[in-house]
Amino acid sequence: MRVTIADVARIAGVSKTTVSRVLNTRGEVDHATRAHVREVIERLGYVPSSGAVGLARGSSRTIGMLVPSLTWPWMGEVLQGVVDTVEEAGFGLLLFTCNRGTDSVARFTSQVSARAFDGLVAVEPEDTLAMLTALHRKGLPVVLIDDRGRHPEFPHVTAENREGGAAAAHHLLSLERRRPLVVAGPLRFGCVRDRLDGFGGVYAEGGHPLDPALVVESDFTEAGGRAAVRRLLGEGHTFDAVFAHNDLAAIGALAALRAAGLRVPDDVAVIGFDDIPMAGLTHPALTTVHQPMRTMGETAARMLLAQLTGEESSRASAVLPTSVVVRESTVGP
């Protein structure tokens, strides 16, 4: 059976608060008592939890992070940005995923109730925004890395999705690609609508409004991008470019075009969105709109730490710039 702080306090003949103060090296405990408590801790082999260490100071110096899954291609970059920032500040990190649906959410909420962490960085798992909002209203500091364009009432970090879509359009128009196919993400997401609006707005202003038949909703997967391009080609549609709303869908588009005997970029130029590490390894290498995912993680962590340490945060939210990374799928070797 695991030794608890209550066991240490009982055997040492002191309160749990006194044990916690010893663990936190607070000065309110006299030298003899401190030495006695430490001797009991060593004898029992007690390993303090983050909650026990933080009892006296009212914090665990631990940050929680909630993500849908670690399999998302850009999640590693976001996580690394959070980890680097949190560790530099002397905090720990508890990572929660929602791989098991409601069971995962129940485990996460139990840790919230146990005050296992002081604040939360979240990449919103779908259908959890109401829960996150309720936790924020109850006093838990929350910062959202907002990949869905939901714009919650608490601080959030996002990228310039509309501007990114516009930049993709400017790039393709500069190459005289006037009839693009858009493989959009799920249209229920605000970021998808923003990317589409930015892209379509530039084409309309240039006198080349998008053909509604060439705007298709997909699901952000490689298979979805492949299927969308294959279906449009099978229906006899012609297009000279593909703008996919994420890199996985763009990679699927490359595969479908290659299978159809079309050359990229000679016949069809392809541009994605995200700039995941895989984008530079495709054949041809994928032009894409870069999202600063690691910087988004760093920024969200700094915003949360500012709340926890009582520093004034300069912004309630942060919108980070995107940029086009030009590779061979649009300009050739």
Q: Each residue of 255-309: pLDDT tens digit?
A: 999 999 999 999 999 999 999 999 999 999 999 999 999 999 999 999 999 888 7
What's the pLDDT score for residue 207?
A: 97
Domain that holds residue 297: 62-159+293-319
pLDDT at site 24: 65
- Statement to judge: residues 37 and 133 lie in one domain: no
Q: Are strands 119-123 and 142-145 parallel, antiparallel or unpaired?
A: parallel
| C-alpha of 54 from chain center | 28
Domain shared by 132 and 142, yes or no: yes
59 pLDDT band, cuts 50/70/90, is: low
The pLDDT of residue 52 is above 80: no
Q: How confident is the model at residue 315 (pLDDT cuts 50, 70, 90)?
A: low
Reference 200, options 235, 236, 165; nearest CA is: 165
**Per-residue pLDDT, 125:** 67
Please report, for the domain that includes residue 105, its CATH number.
3.40.50.2300
How many structural domains does the chain have?
A: 3
98 or 27: which carries more pLDDT confidence?
A: 98
Asked whether 201 and 166 are in contact (CB, 8 A), the reply is yes
Going by their DSSP bridges, the two strands 119-123 and 62-67 should be labelled as parallel
Answer whether 325's CB lies under 8 Å from 290's CB.
yes
Contact 26, 56 (CB under 8 A): yes
The reply to whether 94 and 207 lie within a common domain is no
Beta partners for residue 272, in sequence order: 288
User: Model confidence at 50, in pLDDT bands (50, 70, 90)?
Assistant: very low
The arithmetic mean of pLDDT across residues 165-192, rounded, is 96
- Record the pTM: 0.80
The neighbouring-strand residues paired with 327 are none
CATH of the domain at 20: 1.10.260.40
- Domain identity same for 287 and 175: yes
Model pLDDT for residues 208-247, shown as the tens digit of each residue: 999 999 999 999 999 999 999 999 999 999 999 999 999 9
- Write down the pLDDT at residue 312: 55
